Structure 1
């Protein structure tokens, strides 16, 4: 039996961050942060919350794991938000924490199905 599709969609790149189809789901951003869409996040081993990946961290969050899908203000407390878990993204449109660069984030993100690609100017 062949699959039957009732809708057709075309992928349209947005503000330059997203370059392909994506997979996203909810996460909890740990309190004390006000981050922009495209921020590269790491997962805190204890508790499973996410924070901006910083190379000097030692709680697991130093390893880039997801990309924030929307602006999120968690200044006053933990906040449920959405992050990308797969897709191809413009590395120049991402926001990186101290000590994290496209070069250092590329491999750990690739290992979890997130690809960073340098944008092509026209």
Structure 2
């Protein structure tokens, strides 16, 4: 019996195109917690100013999608530094995690377009 391994989404693999230079990306603070994969849709926790996985059921600010995590981050008990695609990009919809119709509309407001 063989084990089938699936390779995770690599850093930036979801990007189809982005603005010149690195205008599409920003350094961000990601809230402590479980690991997040490249392509995770993120929301911003209003009280802390830290990013976390987009959660449409939340009531802390993270219920609104604002960007996409560029590279995976491991689990951590402290705030982590990461990179996110925050504007001016085309992304591969099938490689995103946590996406729904509301997130798609919210990302479009930041000129992040799903293909």
Give the TM bin, normalised by the shorter chain: 0.7 to 0.9
Superposed, 1:69-84 pairs within 5 Å as 69-84=70-85
The Cα RMSD (Å) is 1.4
* Alignment match, 1:89: 91
Deviation, 1:74, is 4.1
Tell me the alpha carbon deviations over residues 57-76 of structure 1, each in whole angstroms, 9 at most, x when there is no partner: 00011100000000112422
Provide the rounded CA distance (Å) in 1 between the counterparts of 2:60 and 2:109. Answer: 19
* Alignment match, 2:34: 33
Runs of 4+ in 1 over 4 A off after TM superposition: none
Provide the rounded CA distance (Å) in 2 between the counterparts of 1:33 and 1:110. Answer: 27
Residue-pair matches, total: 99
Deviation, 1:46, is 1.2
Q: How high is the TM-score relative to the length of structure 1?
A: 0.76
Q: How high is the TM-score relative to the length of structure 2?
A: 0.80
Provide the rounded CA distance (Å) in 2 between the counterparts of 1:24 and 1:30. Answer: 18
Larger of the two Rg values belongs to structure: 1
Superposed, 1:14-25 pairs within 5 Å as 15=13, 17-22=14-19, 23-25=24-26
Matched, 1:115 2:110: no
- Secondary structure at 1:51's aligned position in 2? strand
Does the Cα contact within 8 Å between 1:29 and 1:74 map onto a contact in 2? no
Structure 2 runs not aligned, ≥5 long: 1-11
